[in-house]
Amino acid sequence: MSEDNIRGVIADVRDFESCTIPLPRMQAPVNDEVHLWFLDLGGLAGSLREALGGHSGGDSPVNLSQLRFARRFYLRLLLGAYLGLPGKSIRINRKQRGKPVLDASVHDSAIHFSMAKSEDRVLIGFSTSSHIGVDLEPVRRRARHAMGVARRYFSEAEADALAALPEADIDEAFLRVWACKEAVVKASGLGIANQFARFTVDTDMTRPAAVLDFEGESAADWTLALVRPENHFLGAVAIKNRVRQIQAYRLLPGQQSSG
């Protein structure tokens, strides 16, 4: 086994297999796999409107209320594909800190999931081995006073590494670190407050993402990877488990009904 696999390092995920609606019964990820789904809710607007009102509704944009509905609708659709159930039968609860989980009183399957949204795009991760976290950011996002944020919230090692970069590279490196840290914190289920500084991720943009140090835990237990589903979006996925493969899918609308 290579050193990268020992450290739980996986190369950037760029290849997303297209899957159309209606979805067949999906095989859940095995213990050393993660499944990722990328959704363009704008592109799925026709299927969404059919679900909402029984007609496609033309090409008008999806409003915020519809986007909120769509995120819940498609999450349940995907969970249903894994569980062999219609999406409307899926029941989801929230833990104390707001992390969504399957309702254990209804579903006995151990499928962990995490969802991140950015504009009308959604990234959803699934695992059967451990809690998972994902994040999704537009690459054009720029933090106001990035180094000030890094010095206050990131680990000392991350802040020092960012400060050593050429000024032109700081924004891109900061966004990478932020996405990775959001994913790790969501996987831990502990929330952002006082957690960002507990661990350090690799800031070197020439290397795959990795957790380098984690207070009170073994950094080698974590798998961290970057996701590039589209040119204008950067994502990250984190899981406290050794992962051999990340299988990525892109959900596409099926054939629209006529009339």
Better pLDDT: 6 or 204 = 204
| pLDDT range class, residue 233, cuts 50, 70, 90 | very high
Domains present along the chain, CATH in parentheses: 3-252 (3.90.470.20)
43-112-20 Cα angle (round to 5): 25
Could you give the C-alpha distances from 22 to 17, 34, 60, 86, 201, in angstroms and in order? 15, 22, 23, 11, 38
Tell me the average pLDDT across 213-224.
94
> What's the confidence (pLDDT) of residue 205?
92
pLDDT confidence of residue 58: 54
The answer for residues whose C-beta is within 8 angstroms of residue 213's C-beta and 6 or more apart is 155, 157, 199, 200, 219
3-state secondary structure at position 176: helix
123-174 pLDDT, tens per residue?
999 999 999 999 999 999 988 899 999 999 999 999 999 999 999 999 999 9
Residue in the structure block whose two tokens are 């407050």: 193
Q: How far apart are CA 20 and CA 221, in angstroms?
A: 35
Task: Pick the more confident residue, 49 or 211.
Answer: 211
Q: Report the DSSP beta bridge partners of residue 121.
A: 40, 118
> Has this prediction a pTM greater than 0.75?
yes
| Banded model confidence at residue 95, pLDDT cuts 50, 70, 90 | confident
Range in 16-30, 58-72, 160-174, 217-231 the model is least confident about: 58-72
Is 50 exceeded by the pLDDT of residue 86?
yes
- Is residue 234 within 8 A of residue 176, CB to CB? The reply is yes
Q: Confirm if 223 and 243 have CB atoms less than 8 A apart.
A: yes
Q: Does 50 or 107 have the greater pLDDT score?
A: 107
Q: Helix (H, G, I), strand (E, B), or coil: what is residue 209? A: coil
- Does the pLDDT value for residue 230 go beyond 60? yes
